[in-house]
Amino acid sequence: MMKLLLNALCKFLCGILLVGLLLFLPAGTFAYLNGWLFCTLLFVPMLFLGAVLWIKAPDLLRKRLDGREQENTQKGVVALSGLLFFVGFILAGLDFRFGWSHVPLWVVVLASVILLISYGLYAEVMRENAYLSRTVEVQKDQKVIDTGLYGIVRHPMYAVTLWLFLSIPLVLGSWCSLICFLHYPIVIVIRILNEEKVLTEGLAGYRDYKKKVKYRLIPFIW
């Protein structure tokens, strides 16, 4: 348990450092208030959720910390996602420095609320599905989850992250960054199509689940 705690804390602190560098270095100042707002909205709930998982679901926390993909398609998806985040954060910092765009305060507030709600739903999805990991795989004794949000769409985790990640550039006050993050849904679609292939072939009952819950990401759309 202590090893898991140290691993989680190390990745948490590295995440803070990385995001801080990507935002405040391009901004050229620590007076980037939207950057501080985003870091608070991101890392405070993350710390709380990590503490809850460490106490009540250490196995799930261990899975969430392991991001080593085996599928070649998923490796490409992870790399592309990382590139989008790097470029998006850097653009937000540069946008603040040079004043390229202006996001109204009410949009920033609304985006902040959406981000927090999305984080709450993210935690709910993790509560419902103990098999969640950051990698696409079929785990030993894994069962199909079809209750709660999984009864609405087949991939509620990705549905939630879609709202969460698209709210990020608006919290950061950057239309330029939003243009970059708008590519994220494409990445999610690629990941879902590959993941469903893996689950259909390897997870018992998943074919029937696809017939029961027709929509992957957005009800009545896809």
Domains contained in the chain, CATH given:
2-133+142-212 (1.20.120.1630)
DSSP secondary structure letter of residue 154: S
Instruction: Quickly state the pLDDT bin for 66 (edges 50, 70, 90).
Output: low
For the segment 168-187, what is each residue's pLDDT rounded down to a tens digit? 999 999 999 999 999 988 88
pLDDT at 173: 95
Residue 217 has a pLDDT of 87
**Beta-carbon count within 10 A of 149 CB:** 18
36: pLDDT strictly greater than 70: yes
pLDDT over 90 (residue 23):
yes
Nearest one of 105, 93, 97, 114 to 166, comparing CA atoms: 114
The residues, any chain, with a CB within 8 Å of residue 81's CB and separated by 6 or more, are: 184, 187
The answer, yes or no, to whether residue 31 has pLDDT greater than 90, is: yes
CB under 8 Å to 132, separation ≥6 — which residues?
Answer: 60, 63, 64, 125, 126, 157
CB 194 within 8 A of CB 136: yes
Give 21's contacts (C-beta < 8 A, 6+ positions apart): none
More confident residue, 77 or 206: 206
d(CA 85, CA 82): 5
Q: What is the DSSP string of 176-192?
A: HHHHHHTTHHHHHHHHH
When comparing pLDDT for 75 and 69, which is higher?
75
For residue 76, is pLDDT > 90? no
Asked if residue 131 has pLDDT above 70, the reply is no
pLDDT of amino acid 60: 67
pLDDT of residue 200: 83
In which band, very low, low, confident or very high, does the pLDDT at 192 lie, cut at 50, 70 and 90?
Answer: confident
* Token pair 């090893």: residue: 3
At residue 64, the pLDDT reads 66
pLDDT the model gives residue 55: 76
3-class SS of residue 82: helix
Tell me the pLDDT tens digit for each residue of 92-119.
Answer: 999 999 999 999 999 999 999 999 999 8
H-run or E-run covering 216:
none
Cα–Cα nearest to 85, from 155, 28, 194, 161? 161
CA distance 32 to 42: 16
